[in-house]
Amino acid sequence: MNPHVKSCAGASPLVLVALFWSGMAVAEGPGDPAAVKNEDGKFYDAQGIPTYSIKPDGTVDWYTYSGFRRYNSECLRCHGPDGAGSSYAPALTNSLKTLSYTDYLTLVAAGKKEVNAAQDLVMPSFGVDKNVMCYVDAIYVYLRARADDAVGRARPSKHEDKPEGAKNWETSCMGPQ
């Protein structure tokens, strides 16, 4: 699991912003999505950024599948189906082509407000919303796969089982069910 997200589950949005901007610099955009590390079913690229893994038969890793589910429950209402955007909010499949992982985490945790004569962009802060922050990496992994056209616009038809690490993280972040 991403140690920066693990340690932030109950933090305020301002604490999260400070944490994410404190030395976690990465190149603009997500970079090469090739998975070079697998930690209990969670894949990372060469920069240590969460990424997807798709088998030749189309089976996606658990985090890509979980990200699809969480995106559809938490993000779809503004950003449209499959990250394709809407008249209300931008296409995240386009945004993730240039947005760094650090900027993504900051934006989700702290929100955004950009109001001027030409536009009125407001994204609420989700820094204390466990339904988002406990799954922020999974949502990122799904959107990264969508941005790279590695997964289509439909629910992934095959996925890996939920790894123990994901079960343990979910329990520690969301609390016992």
Q: Which of 101, 80, 118, 109 is nearest to 31 (CA)?
A: 101
Mean pLDDT of the chain: 83
- The enclosing domain of 131 has a CATH number of 1.10.760.10
What mean pLDDT comes out for the span 51-68? 96
What mean pLDDT comes out for the span 106-110? 93
Residue 167 lies in a domain: no
For residues 82, 69, 154, 54, the Cα torsion angle rounded to the nearest 10 degrees is: 100
Q: Tell me the C-alpha distance between 144 and 113, whole Å.
A: 23
Asked if pLDDT for residue 55 goes beyond 70, the answer is yes
Helix axes 13-21, 101-110, angle to 10 degrees: 170
Residue 10 lies in a domain: yes
Other beta carbons within 10 Å of 14: 12
Range of the domain at 95: 3-161
* pTM: predicted TM-score of the whole model, two decimal places: 0.81
Confidence at 23, pLDDT banded by 50, 70, 90: very low
Residue 177 lies in a domain: no
Q: How many domains does the chain have?
A: 1
For the stretch 89-107, pLDDT in tens is 888 888 888 899 999 999 9
Q: Tell me the C-alpha distance between 98 and 46, whole Å.
A: 17
Asked if pLDDT for residue 11 goes beyond 70, the answer is no
Q: Tell me the C-alpha distance between 124 and 112, whole Å.
A: 7
The pLDDT score that the predictor gives to residue 29 is 66
For the stretch 115-133, pLDDT in tens is 888 777 788 899 999 999 9
Residue 129 lies in a domain: yes
Task: Look up residue 174 and give its two tokens.
Answer: 């969301």
